Structure 1
């Protein structure tokens, strides 16, 4: 996904938890976006001025200013920038306040990176901030994925995946012929939810193999002692 002029989408991540801010930033850079992150409200306002973001991910609870106040000040200079609020799981009043103040959408913590990216892509499309020529299709050999409709097929035959299987396959398809370690896959697909339990990667790779490789030339290969690689069948 890119801007209408072909340059990368510019995103500003605002969260006072450094680990979470870096996690979100890394995920968005993986999308090919230009990303800056801020840990305080005042830093976010300064960053919005210099970055001129296409979209903002904004935590409601910040150590200096509230996310609502940050939104008010940013909108004074960037009235049309889409804003996705991050809120606490049970803070219904925060979600209502954020949307009432002009936020465009929200997700609750903890969240999946897949959900955040999907919400941001939708906001950018609604705002007309991205190219209409943007394609959401990934192709590796005869394996095809539509990232927007979540449809996957191989050799023209539909393959039905769970949400986690889809995210895992998307990571492989965005990195064809590249060996991905279990640690990299854990960080990208499961974030902090499984704390180094690499066996969950082995389990889901086996699930994927049954669906994309069964009865066909294999595409998903194990590189012993290193990780896994997806490449077109020979």
Structure 2
């Protein structure tokens, strides 16, 4: 199993590489938040061990970026003991939280628990359809090589569809993800935003080939 350790403490990284390597784990490392995202996209680890207090991007920002395209289990290993830090990390998408200093036996047990819960394949950081390229890490969209500006809501809809390529995403699921509830009165909001996305991304918005409507059910993104 491949583990990404992201921490700006070189001594801890060295010790963890030796210890986890001795237990049969394949270890890759990153010294700051931006490098952690890049290494995760390149190496596709099975588990991420992540410190919160890192330069360039902090741990919560790294979690949010990873959750844009990946369901990889994330174990936060941090010296921050406040409940607020734990809540922020877990709300951002972390799976577990261990405070420093920690016992290696406890860390190994938590890794084994995360490994048992694995099963959802890691998504791809870049999704393409037609002339459109959606970078879920950088949160950018291009069409024919030219940048496309999306509103925050348009991006959230496209991101959700891109994270589930080919799958039917129901209207209720989108309403809950974007507005926080599936009980929102849908006054054409979704139809309006999907229409705007088609205008920006489809070659022929009137006859879409990629952003498809499943009548009475929801929407589907196909390549």
Q: What TM-score do the two structures reach when normalised by structure 2?
A: 0.51
Report matched runs for 1:1-234 at 5 Å: 9-78=1-70, 80-128=71-119
Q: Displacement, 1:45?
A: 0.8
Q: Displacement, 1:22?
A: 1.5
Q: Displacement, 1:89?
A: 4.9
Distance, in Å, in 2 between the alignment partners of 1:90 and 1:123 is 21
Distance, in Å, in 1 between the alignment partners of 2:2 and 2:78 is 22
Q: What TM-score do the two structures reach when normalised by structure 1?
A: 0.49
| Structure 2 segments unaligned to the other structure (5+ residues) | 121-223
Q: Displacement, 1:126?
A: 1.2
Q: Which residue number in structure 1 is paired with residue 221 of structure 2?
A: none
Q: Residue by residue, what CA displacement relative to the aligned partner does 1:115-147 show, whole Å, maximum 9, x if unpaired?
A: 111101101101248xxxxxxxxxxxxxxxxxx
Q: Displacement, 1:95?
A: 0.8
| Structure 1 segments unaligned to the other structure (5+ residues) | 1-8, 130-234
Runs in 1 of length 4+ with deviation above 3 angstroms?
A: none
